[in-house]
């Protein structure tokens, strides 16, 4: 009989760069870089960090107990491609629909 696999709950964080005009791909790469600097490769794996491609929005996913760390990283991102930028979180939700609907 197959063992039940633990299903970890995910949270989806909707992010908007400020000011406008920043590439979402560049923003995601910078977030990944800062996360890996702070928490290492095992942190990236343990947190389940990934980008969810939903239309024109930047949505980052992680497991529910890594939300403080992800928000901390998003707060610490202060430049993308040499340009001063801040990342505003507009929604944290347990579903993608909950995040995309809010934007």
Partner 1 sequence: MRAGYVDLWVAGELAIIQRLKTLGYSHCAITGDHDGLEELRARADEIGVRVVGKNVLEAYSRGDVLNRVKERPRHTLVSIVPMTREALMVAVRDERVDTVIVHGEIAEIDRHVIQVLQNPLELTLNTVLKVMGDLKALRKIVGVCKTSIVRELPLVISSGASNATGLRKPRQLAYLAAALAGTDGPCLETVSETPLSILHRRRFTYG
Cβ 55 to partner 1 shortest distance, Å = 23
Does 89 bind partner 1 (CB under 8 A)? Our answer is yes
Which of these segments, 4-12, 45-53, 54-62, 84-92, binds partner 1 (CB under 8 A)?
A: 84-92
Q: Which of these, 68, 66, 60, 72, lies nearest to 100 by C-alpha position?
A: 60
Does 84 bind partner 1 (CB under 8 A)? Our answer is yes
Per-residue x/- marks for partner 1, 15-54, CB under 8 A?
---xx-----------------x-----------------
Residues 36/46, Cβ–Cβ less than 8 Å: no
Does 82 bind partner 1 (CB under 8 A)? Our answer is no
Cβ 83 to partner 1 shortest distance, Å = 9
Beta bridge partners of 91: 14
Cβ 100 to partner 1 shortest distance, Å = 19
For residues 49 and 1, give the distance between their C-alpha atoms in angstroms, rounded to a whole number.
31
For residues 18 and 41, give the distance between their C-alpha atoms in angstroms, rounded to a whole number.
28
Beta bridge partners of 62: 11
């Amino acid at each position: 009989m197959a063992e039940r696999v633990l299903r970890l709950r995910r949270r989806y964080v909707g992010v908007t760069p400020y000011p406008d005009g920043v590439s979402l791909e560049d923003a995601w790469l910078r977030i990944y870089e800062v996360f890996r600097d702070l928490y290492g490769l095992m942190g990236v794996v343990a947190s389940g960090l990934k980008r969810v491609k939903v239309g024109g929005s930047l949505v980052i996913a992680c497991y529910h107990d890594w939300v403080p760390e992800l928000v901390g990283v998003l707060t610490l991102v202060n430049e993308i491609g040499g340009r001063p930028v801040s990342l505003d979180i507009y929604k944290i939700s347990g579903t993608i629909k909950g995040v995309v609907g809010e934007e």
